[in-house]
């Protein structure tokens, strides 16, 4: 009987693990080009928006549970802007923060994460609440490394607008939700004056997060809900592309947005590059190296010390190697798909040669 119970438990664990793995595959979305003049007013009445499909409905950040309220986005672009339309179902639309660059996620909010070159370094975060208050910041590298967060960086030229389907900050009625419309200028992400960074027929790593809080009323005003001991209840994190962990700052897990040169209403295709599957394995080795260093106070010098299994992608066996040096290591592997050499460093940055 104990063996039967153990077998059932193992089977259930296997099913859950497979489901979680499947759910955590990065999402992808094709953003088509528009030639129409887009007015950022939150109404999204332009013909182009009507021709653009909604994304998959958001899921919780770990990729396991369905959120209480629905969220989805649309995207498109032109030579000047990256356009984003977010629709958030919410029966109680509320917000109180009005100061630019305040900690917006202390309200319910919508968040945009963008890594243009996909190396997990030098990425951008944008948060907006239902009062259209903005927090924009630049992050040099993920929080797992010693990073710098530039809170005084400003997304110059950003256009944003909110449309509430209901009445904001009114607890006596029920709302349907709110819509956020964004126009993010490409030039805000330039790394040099002459850089041409409009990603036509290219992809960027992107993700979206919605922070939602349980609330309580005090003197008829919304507040984040507290438990019996007066501690804030944890927020909900609902995302477009699941992270697998409660951490948005793992950019290697973000989704893919492909900026097609085809006009809205057309059809195009996009496939995640096979080399990105190699990058995923390199990140696994990077995490294994961190665990090894934490345990032994030194870096491993062989791949066998980090994994006992062969690394196989699409029936191709990878042959990664480690090169240790005075300040860390490089783990490199030659791609069987593109012949490029991919390298991950001790700080988690990936270089492609």
| Tokens read off for 333 | 């592997």
Distance of CA 11 to the CA centre of its chain: 31
- Whether residue 150 contacts residue 180, with contact meaning beta carbons closer than 8 Å, is answered with no
| Tokens read off for 87 | 């629709």
- Whether residue 313 contacts residue 277, with contact meaning beta carbons closer than 8 Å, is answered with yes
Lookup result for tokens 């950019």: 251
How far apart, in whole angstroms, are the C-alpha atoms of residue 332 and residue 330? 6
Q: Give the per-residue pLDDT at 316.
A: 95
Predicted confidence (pLDDT) at residue 12 exceeds the cutoff of 70? no
Residue 82's beta-bridge partner residues? 77, 184
How far apart, in whole angstroms, are the C-alpha atoms of residue 147 and residue 150? 10
Tell me the per-residue pLDDT of 95-114, one tens digit each, with 9 for 90 and over: 999 999 999 999 999 999 99
Residue 20 banded pLDDT, cuts 50, 70, 90: very low
Alpha-helical runs (H) found in 38-185? 47-51
% pLDDT > 70, the chain: 93
Residue 23 banded pLDDT, cuts 50, 70, 90: low
Q: Give the residue-averaged pLDDT of 244-264.
A: 97
How far apart, in whole angstroms, are the C-alpha atoms of residue 65 and residue 59? 6
């Amino acid at each position: 009987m104990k063996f039967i119970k153990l077998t059932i438990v193992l089977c259930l664990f296997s099913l859950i693990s497979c489901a979680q793995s499947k759910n955590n595959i990065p999402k992808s979305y094709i953003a088509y080009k528009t030639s129409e003049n887009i007015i950022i007013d939150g109404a999204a009445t332009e013909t182009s928006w009507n021709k653009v499909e909604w994304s998959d409905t958001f899921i919780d950040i770990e990729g396991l549970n369905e959120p209480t309220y629905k969220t989805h986005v649309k995207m498109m672009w032109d030579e000047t802007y990256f356009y984003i339309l977010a629709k958030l179902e919410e029966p109680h639309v509320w917000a109180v923060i009005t100061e630019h660059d305040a900690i917006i996620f202390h309200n319910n909010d919508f968040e945009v994460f963008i890594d243009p070159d996909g190396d997990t370094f030098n990425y951008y975060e944008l948060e907006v609440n239902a009062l259209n208050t903005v927090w924009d910041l630049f992050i040099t590298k993920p929080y797992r490394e010693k990073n710098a967060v530039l809170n005084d960086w400003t997304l110059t030229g950003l256009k944003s607008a909110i449309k509430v389907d209901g009445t904001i900050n009114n607890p006596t009625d029920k709302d349907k939700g709110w819509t956020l419309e964004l126009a993010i200028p490409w030039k805000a992400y330039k790394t040099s004056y002459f850089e041409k960074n409009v990603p036509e027929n290219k992809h960027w790593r992107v993700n979206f997060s919605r922070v939602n809080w349980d609330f309580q009323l005090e003197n008829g005003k919304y507040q984040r809900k507290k438990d019996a001991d007066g501690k804030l209840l944890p927020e909900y994190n609902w995302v477009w592309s699941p992270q697998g962990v409660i951490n948005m700052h793992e950019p290697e897990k973000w989704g893919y947005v492909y900026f097609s040169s085809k006009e809205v209403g057309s059809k195009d295709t996009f496939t995640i590059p096979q080399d990105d599957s190699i990058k995923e394995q390199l990140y696994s080795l990077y995490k294994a190296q961190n665990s090894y260093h934490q345990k032994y106070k030194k870096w491993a010098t062989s791949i066998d010390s980090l994994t006992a299994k062969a690394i196989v992608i699409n029936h191709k066996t990878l042959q990664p190697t480690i090169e240790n040096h005075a300040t860390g290591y490089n783990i490199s592997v030659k791609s069987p798909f593109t012949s490029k050499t991919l390298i991950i460093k001790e700080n988690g940055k990936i270089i492609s040669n």
